[in-house]
Structure 1
């Protein structure tokens, strides 16, 4: 009886061992399944974290690109106003350096500390941008005001220039009129001749015999002129022969002077102080040789302009 129970016990033990082994395997599989589940969750969480970091990194890069564009805009606005922008160039260089660092990051290595650091720097840049924008707005207002004031000053200057030009032209015209009005005039011009015996002869028709003429005498009065200044005047007398040549002799007081900018010979000259009293003036000229026959002309000048003219004839 005992021999029959022994095999049954061994069989029961085998089944127990087999059941235990199955339980152990089920337990191991459960543990492995649990560990796989945890690993999957960790990987999913890691992937989600990397995705968030990648999004943060992209947002940060875009923020810095916007900052760079805004600083460059400010730089161009200042340049358009002709202002220096060294500080903006420095800020643009700093933003470029930060952009280079951000683009070198991998999402997995972009830590929370990095995010905070670059975010703080970006906020600081944005604050500087707002301050500079306010400065530029004020500068534009100042420039517009200055432009308006400059335009107003230019208009006033142009009007003043026109007024000064008008006054100058008026003064010039007045000066020219005064100069013309102040010119002397020879009145009552008379011609006489003196022969070798020092005897004087005159003729209302101003006709004389050439052979008897030793000297020519010219007398006249300076007409009254209230505009002409009372000052020393040089009176030139030109005696022109029938062929138009002016008689002159340096040894007897002849010389040259300017008529309308051109050099001309004068026969005689004398200085006097014009006193506006119709004072008389006299020229006596001796040629020293025989006079030519024909019509002679006497021209009288003062200050380079003609003040009187007459003719006489020698037969």
Structure 2
């Protein structure tokens, strides 16, 4: 009996020990599986973190590329150039940026990473080549600008020289014109009555009411500078009240003197031959003359060439 009881106790102990061993094994397996799961979760989190960092880096790269391409476009515009393909590329970069940002809410795979990295590298190389082209173009523009500036400076100097020469020529022309001015010399005023008898204005007893015509005679002084040829000589007969006698029916008209329009009483067309030739005007007013001092003014080529006066009582 005692032996049988001892054997039962021994079997019970073995069973308990076996159960403990099984429980410990299960617990160990559970612990191991939990550790594996934790490790896998940590690795997954690390992968997600790496992908997120890579995504944000790619977004920054594309933002920088877009800014550089927009800078290129602005530089071209400032140089007066345009590039439609550059605008197309900027639009493509904008579309890529929008796609990259959409990956924040979805999976950003390794294939996506590789694709966008390669595209960014291609864009960077194209940007670099374009910058080099623009640098060469800018250098060429600066060289051309320097040449144009030099030409403008030369042109300005030539213009200044031409202006000086023109001014000098104008001064010379004015001096020649002044030197070639005719001169009416020995001006004599004669009174002609209704019977055709002439009296010089020195005859003080001559009355205004007896005047029928006025004769003005003079000679043209010698002038070696004045060119020979046709000349117009205008006479102004100015009455005591300061107004010039003017009658279209008797050949009066207007001329320009010192920028102002003047009335002339009579005009003669002559051929100047530089022989001190005599010239005369005979003017009939067709109405009674006024009492007082009358003035005679003679003009030619825009110059006053002689004056005289006479008095009627």
TM-score calculated relative to the size of structure 2: 0.81
In the TM superposition, 1:202-281 aligns within 5 A as 206-207=202-203, 209-210=205-206, 215-247=213-245, 250-251=248-249, 253-258=250-255, 260=257, 261-266=260-265, 268-281=266-279
Distance 1:156 1:12 in 2: 125
Question: Which of 296, 299, 313 is the matching residue for 1:298?
Answer: 296
User: Which blocks of at least 5 consecutive residues in structure 1 are unaligned?
Assistant: none
- State the secondary structure of the residue aligned to 1:224: coil
1:109 aligns to what SS in structure 2? coil
Give the structure 2 partner of residue 25 of structure 1: 23
C-alpha distance after superposition, 1:264-305 (max 9, x if no partner): 241x33222222222221233445666556544333222343
Match of 2:136 in 1: 138
Q: Report the Cα distance in structure 1 between the residues aligned to 2:168 and 2:66, rounded to whole angstroms.
A: 63
Shift of 1:195: 5.1
What is the CA–CA distance in structure 1 between the aligned matches of 2:194 and 2:123, rounded to whole Å? 115
The answer as to whether partners of 1:185 and 1:308 remain within 8 angstroms in 2 is yes
**Count of matched residue positions in the alignment of Structure 1 and Structure 2:** 309
Is the Cα–Cα contact under 8 Å of residues 257 and 304 in structure 1 kept in the other structure? no
1:23 to 1:173, Cα distance in 2 relative to 1, 3 A: same
Q: Where does residue 65 of structure 1 map in the other structure?
A: 63
- Residue pair 1:181, 1:227 contacting (<8 A) in 2 also: yes
Asked whether the equivalents of residues 222 and 278 of structure 1 are also in contact (C-alpha less than 8 Å), the reply is yes
Measured in 2, the distance between the counterparts of 1:214 and 1:54 equals 122
CA distance in 2, matches of 1:307, 1:57: 100
Aligned-residue Cα RMSD (Å) equals 3.3
Where does the alignment leave 5 or more consecutive residues of structure 2 unmatched?
Answer: none
- 1:113-147, CA deviations, whole angstroms, 9 ceiling, x for partnerless residues? 11111111111121122122213322332332233
In 2, Cα distance between the equivalents of 1:73 and 1:143? 19
